[in-house]
Amino acid sequence: MALSVLSVASEAYPLVKTGGLGDVVGALPAALAPHGVDVTTFLPGYPRVLAALEAGGAPLHRWPDLLGAPAQLLEGEIAGHRLLVLDAPGYFAREGGPYGDPAGRDWDDNWRRFAAFARAAADVAGGAVAGERYDVLHAHDWQSGLAPAYLRFAPPAPDAPRTVMTIHNIAFQGRYDAGIFASLALPALAFAVDGVEYYGGVGYLKAGLESADAITTVSPTYAREILSPDFGMGLEGLIRTRQRRVSGIVNGIDTAVWSPSADPSLPARYDAATLTRRATNKRAVEQAFDLDPGDGPIFCVVSRLTWQKGMDVLADAIPALVERGARLALLGSGDAWLEQAFRDAAERFPGQVGVRLGYDEALSHLLQAGSDAILIPSRFEPCGLTQLYGLAYGCVPVVARTGGLADTVIHANAAALAAGVATGIQFDTVTYESLVGAIALATDLHADAERWEQIQRAGMAADFSWATSGRRYASLYRELLAA
């Protein structure tokens, strides 16, 4: 019998995406359908999510007072799969992004917005909404972290769903003052070390990790790394005590969106047998980033510009990159001082460094299809998707050996090159020396066209579709139900 899952998240591509979370949540329904799992996605009713719903559908449920504001439940579709939306204008009818105003400042009431969202998700999955029944509630990241806690502290119900909490990014934890607890409508006993209490305040991700039946993160290496203080960011103790319930399931890529042979954003489509067509895309990258035309390698970056992503080290390495005859095309947005550092670099090296600050989905596809290599010097990376897109597009990933980057790229050492299995370049520790060393190695390998093509082809032949990981999530859900 088909198993039903409510996938609860603050983003899902193509309706709302600020990063990898959106990609993964958007891909899960199609990834799980072949394994007999029906996924319904549950999203907050941001203006662009509501705009995508067909007008006129009657609400499935109404909350007169959901932690302080009225709300209703609407139904729609996302990429051919079922979608539920929490329409709560008091919380979500705002200009700006999912988490902050148009200037990028976080909303002051995020704690209440995502508590209300999680409360509603727990109601939907827990049987409080007529007609809705789920075997599993799958919560993603801190914005949904209270949902497993609301279910856990609800009165016992015979067919309560099992719960899964997935960590996409442990750096964002949803940590608030103890003063908000009274407004969360949880029983007093929930404010405890093994409940939602976190270092004297309230922790949303912590609450989910403590309450869920299973914890997953998005690569096996990262699942091990978060047991240590360097990567656990304060949650390592809790994760260690629940270690038996933790697993790492690597993200796949949505091949309906990311296939160079069928990508509508590309001037020239291609596959592993027609790699020479990438030259047309490379010319388009040069134009889009005001780079001098040339045969030397173009390194690209598609990233949030933050400390996590090692962007400060990259900014330092730009002169060395240019000195080796390479060019850089960077698309990203994030911390103001990093944006400024890259603007300065583009001014200092016109024709060699091109920078586009902002978010541009189509341009991110072009960069993967026209650049020679993608630089990912992350200090930590739960899985990473841009290296997977790079592999699929013949844009060779140059990555720090951490988290999912370590799990998905085969380093071009002599043995891997001789065996023809190398798919990219890895380097240890995110320092200036190691990054410049990796850029130098990539530039040298690129100069040997035959060898470079072998690396590109090996990456393109690797399977990062959802086939394997979809099966692993389905088995996890089934194990929880059998337990």
Ligand X SMILES: Nc1ncnc2c1ncn2[C@@H]1O[C@H](COP(=O)(O)OP(=O)(O)O[C@H]2O[C@H](CO)[C@@H](O)[C@H](O)[C@H]2O)[C@@H](O)[C@H]1O
Residue numbering of the annotated binding site for ADP-alpha-D-glucose: 17
Binding test (CB under 6 A) with ligand X, winner from 161, 377, 382, 390:
382
- Say whether residue 143 binds ligand X (CB under 6 A): no
Which positions from 395 through 454 interact with ligand X, judged by CB under 6 A?
Answer: 404
Residues 469 and 30 sit within 8 Å (Cβ to Cβ):
no
Single out the segment in contact with ligand X by CB under 6 A; choices: 28-36, 55-63, 149-157, 353-361.
353-361
Of the candidates 6, 21, 164, 300, which one interacts with ligand X according to CB under 6 A?
21
Specify the residue, 74 or 223, whose C-beta has the smaller distance to ligand X: 223
Rounded to a whole number of angstroms, the minimum distance from the CB of residue 272 to ligand X is 21
Among 360, 416, 440, 478, indicate the residue that binds ligand X (CB under 6 A): 360
Binding residue for ligand X, selected from 332, 424, 459, 470, defined by CB under 6 A? 332
Q: Residue 7 interacts with ligand X (CB under 6 A)?
A: no
Q: Answer yes or no whether residue 470 interacts with ligand X by CB under 6 A.
A: no
Contact window for ligand X (CB under 6 A) among 14-22, 63-71, 144-152, 154-162 = 14-22
Site for ligand X in 150-189 (CB under 6 A): 168-169
Find, among 451, 377, 445, 467, the residue nearest to 419 by Cα.
Answer: 451
Cβ atoms of 121 and 144 within 8 Å: the answer is yes
- Region of 148-156, 236-244, 283-291, 296-304 interacting with ligand X (CB under 6 A): 296-304
Residue 260 is a binding residue for ligand X (CB under 6 A): no
According to the binding rule CB under 6 A, does residue 302 interact with ligand X? yes
- If one asks whether residue 37 binds ligand X (CB under 6 A), the answer comes out as no
Quick one: which of 251, 281, 371, 465 contacts ligand X (CB under 6 A)? 251
Question: Does 19 participate in binding ligand X (rule CB under 6 A)?
Answer: yes
**Residue among 267, 276, 315, 314 at smallest CA distance from 295:** 276
Size of the site for ligand X (CB under 6 A): 26
Stretch that binds ligand X, among 90-98, 108-116, 376-384, 431-439 (CB under 6 A): 376-384
Residues contributing to the annotated binding site: 17
Among 7, 16, 20, 145, binds ligand X (CB under 6 A): 20
Q: Choose, by CB under 6 A, the member of 331, 366, 430, 445 that binds ligand X.
A: 331
Q: Is 23 in the site for ligand X (CB under 6 A)?
A: yes
Chain positions contacting ligand X, by CB under 6 A: 19-21, 23-24, 168-169, 218, 251, 302-304, 331-333, 359-361, 364, 381-386, 404
